[in-house]
Amino acid sequence: MPKVHVTTTINGEPMEFLCEPYETMLDALRGQLGLTGSKEGCASGDCGACSITVDGRLVCSCLMLAAEAEGHQIGTIEGMAHGEKLHPLQQKFLEHAALQCGICTSGMLVASEALLKKNPDPSEEEVRFWLAGNLCRCTGYDKIVRAVLDAAAEMRETAR
């Protein structure tokens, strides 16, 4: 039962690995690739805790085979900060207390970053509907939405 050989790029770094045909991208990230920042909450695409980007597009890594990463650019939570410099979203989540247990936080941040790349000036409603695929049970979403809106404002200001 041969494994699949995958050549891909993760957070800007070239990576090569072997995987089972049925292995999901989430399994590969959390297992052999040692990138445990993406979390498994449901393994069925209903909670968003496993969110990553593929060529910049937001996806659930539990709904993707690791084999499908071939030739694509994968972005995970681990690639969001640059060394010690946090992304404005990460900083605002901390300032707004937009996390409690933190299990949904990786997925929320990846999803939020994808939103702001597509729409740098979202309304509260647009933020809420974009993040509908990211379940949080601790915060009631209030501070998360505020953090995203605040980060968006700061990023627009910086871009000026």
Partner 1 sequence: MNVVTNNKWIGQRTIRPDGVDKVTGRATFAADTTMPGMIWGKVLRSPHAHARIKSIDTSKAEKLPGVKAVVTARDIVDFTIEKGAVMLGIQDMRWMCRNVMAREKALFPGHPVAAVAATTEAIAAEACKLIEVDYEVLPFAIEIDDALKPDAPILHEWNKVDGKPSNVAGRLEHKKGDIAEGFGKADIIIERSFATRPVHQGYIEPHACLISVAADGKTTIWSSSQGQFMVRAMTSMLTGIPQSDIRAIPAEIGGGFGGKTIVYLEPVATMLAKKSGRPVKMVMTREDVMRATGPTSGSKSTVKIGVTKDGKIVAAQGTFYLQAGAFPGSPIRGAAGCSFAPYDIPHALSVGYDVCSNRSKVAAYRAPGAPIGAYAVECVMDEVAHALKMDPLEFRLKNAAREGTKAVHGPVFPRMGYVETLNAVKNHPHYSAPLGKSEPGKLRGRGVASGFWFNAGGESSAQVNITEDGNVVVTTGHPDIGGSRAGIANICAELLGIDYKRVSVIIGDTQTVGFSNLTGGSRVLFASSIVATQSTEKVIQTLRERAAKTWGIDPEAVKWENGAAHPVSPNAGQFEPLTLAQIAAKAPEQGGPIGAGVQLNTAGADGGFGTHICDVEVDTDLGIVRVIRYTASQDVGRAIHPGYVEGQLQGGVAQGIGWALNEEYIYNKEGKVDNPGFLDYRMPVCSDLPMLDCALVEVPNPKHPQGVKGVGEVPLVPVMAAVANAVYDALGRRFYSLPMSPPKVSAVLDAPVQRAAE
Partner 2 sequence: MTDIRYVAPRTLDEAISAFAAAGSAARILAGGTDLLVQMRSGMVRPGLIVDIKNIAEMTGIEVTADGGFRVGAAVSGMALAEHPRFGKAWPGVLEAVNLIGSKQVQGRASAGGNLCNASPAGDSVPAMIAAGAIITIQGPNGRRELPVEKVPAAPGRTNLTPGEIVISFTLPPRPAGSSDAYLRMIPRTEMDIAVVGLGVSLTLKDGVCTAARVGLGAVAPTVLLVEGAGKALVGSKLDDAALEVAAVACRAACRPIDDKRGTITYRIKTAGVLLKRTALIAAKRAQGK
3-state secondary structure of 150: helix
Tell me which of 21, 57, 132, 156 binds partner 1, using CB under 8 A: 132
Of 38-46, 84-92, 93-101, 142-150: span binding partner 2 (CB under 8 A)? 38-46
**Residue 77 lies near partner 2 (rule: CB under 8 A):** no
Q: In sequence order, which ranges of the chain are alpha helices (DSSP H)?
A: 25-30, 88-95, 105-118, 124-130, 142-159
Q: Which amino acid is at 82?
A: H
For partner 2, the closer of residues 27 and 150 by Cβ is: 27
Q: At what angle do helices 142-159 and 88-95 cross, to 10 degrees?
A: 140
**Binding residues for partner 2, total number by CB under 8 A:** 34
| All residues at 6 or more sequence positions from 153 whose CB lies less than 8 Å from its CB, including other chains | none
Tell me the β-bridge partners of 58.
53
**Residues 33-62 interacting with partner 1 (rule: CB under 8 A):** 35-44, 46-47, 49
For partner 1, the closer of residues 21 and 71 by Cβ is: 21
**Residue 141 lies near partner 1 (rule: CB under 8 A):** yes
Q: Which amino acid is at 104?
A: C
**Residues 2-21 interacting with partner 1 (rule: CB under 8 A):** none
Alpha-carbon separation of residue 47 from 21, 27, 50, 61, 141 (angstroms): 24, 16, 8, 11, 14
156, HSE (Cβ side, Cα atoms, 13 Å): 11
Positions that interact with partner 1 (CB under 8 A)? 30, 35-44, 46-47, 49, 76-78, 80-81, 86, 90, 93-97, 99-106, 109, 124-125, 127-129, 131-146
> What is the contact surface with partner 2 in residues (CB under 8 A)?
1-2, 4, 20-22, 24, 43-46, 48, 51, 54, 57-60, 62-65, 67-68, 70, 111, 114-115, 129-134
